[in-house]
Amino acid sequence: MSIIQQKPVRHAFLYYRFSWLHLIRPLTFTATISPAAFGSALAAWYGPFHVDRFVIVLVVGVLVQSAVNMLNDYFDYQKGQDQEKWIFSENLNAVLHPPYRLIPAVATLLFALAGLGGLWVGARSHQFWILWMGALGVFCGYKYSAGRRSLSSLGLAEIIAFLFLGVFPTTAGFVVQGRLLDAAVFALSLPLSLASATMLLTNNLRDIDKDQGVRLTIAMRLGRKRGARVLNALLGAAYLSVFLLSVLGLLSALSLLTVCAVPAAIKLCYLLRSGASPTEERLAMKWAALHHWLFGITLYGSVFIANI
């Protein structure tokens, strides 16, 4: 039985308009892949590197991210949002078009597989505390959209992203390699934690009109103009944190290659500027994800290169 309570659907033949791949939104996988890869790269500085543990951590992150993305669209439909993403038909192929009624079961399966992967890597690394943190992350991912008082409706999206798409995957990628946590690791998690928060804030700025009457996000509380300023500040803080960590010797000078992602950050800020058109605002999320990919790749890539 699915751990997710499915409400009655108005029609048995309700399908997602696009594919399963579109539903899980692979472009957003950077939110879990980049911090986990960064934490793993940091661990490689201090001793042997276990490729199998590294791969499992990435797979677990992708499974959880996929399930959360699916449930976000599932619950948004229940709340009357994004109705255009769904169609009623008796002739669509469920392999190509996700049936609405199956999404809770598929998400539950992905969560279960992620749990097994977490159990395996926790046992191999003797770091069972990551299972509890992982379970809390899954709960937050589920409650992000579920229920009348979802976490996103309470304005907690950016905080959740900072913690569970930044701090936790970075530290998990580090400790499963057999390393001990210290304050330096938490400090090193800051750049990608801030970058992850920018993705959620971008999403909420884009959806201010759509979210009216459904949730009350930080973007809605601040308004477009002030919300865009906060986004700019978070982006600046991410780059400043890399610079400071490099000056302190916690990161190599190669980490400054993250400036290669600055053009994407500038484009993102431009798309959310005052007076931007709805079309430009819709493009913002793609640029936020692209910026996160570029920022993450240059950051953990610089650490891996420094180890050579």
Q: Band of the pLDDT at 8, cuts 50, 70, 90?
A: very low
Mean pLDDT (the chain) is 88
Residue range 163-184: average pLDDT?
Answer: 91
The answer to whether residues 40 and 54 touch, using CB atoms and an 8 Å cutoff, is: yes
Q: Could you tell me which residues are beta bridge partners of residue 16?
A: 86
pLDDT greater than 90 at residue 94: no
User: Which DSSP string corresponds to 76-104?
Assistant: HHHTT--GGGEEE-SS--TTTS-BGGGHH
Q: How many CA atoms are closer than 13 Å to the CA of 5, on its beta-carbon side?
A: 4
The answer to whether residues 51 and 222 touch, using CB atoms and an 8 Å cutoff, is: no
pLDDT of residue 68: 93
Tokens encoding 146: 């579920």
- 3 state SS of 14: strand
The DSSP symbol for 179 reads P
Tokens 């900072």: give the residue. 162
pLDDT of residue 10: 55
Q: How far is CA 47 from CA 62, 84, 284, in A?
A: 26, 51, 40
Tokens encoding 208: 């201010």
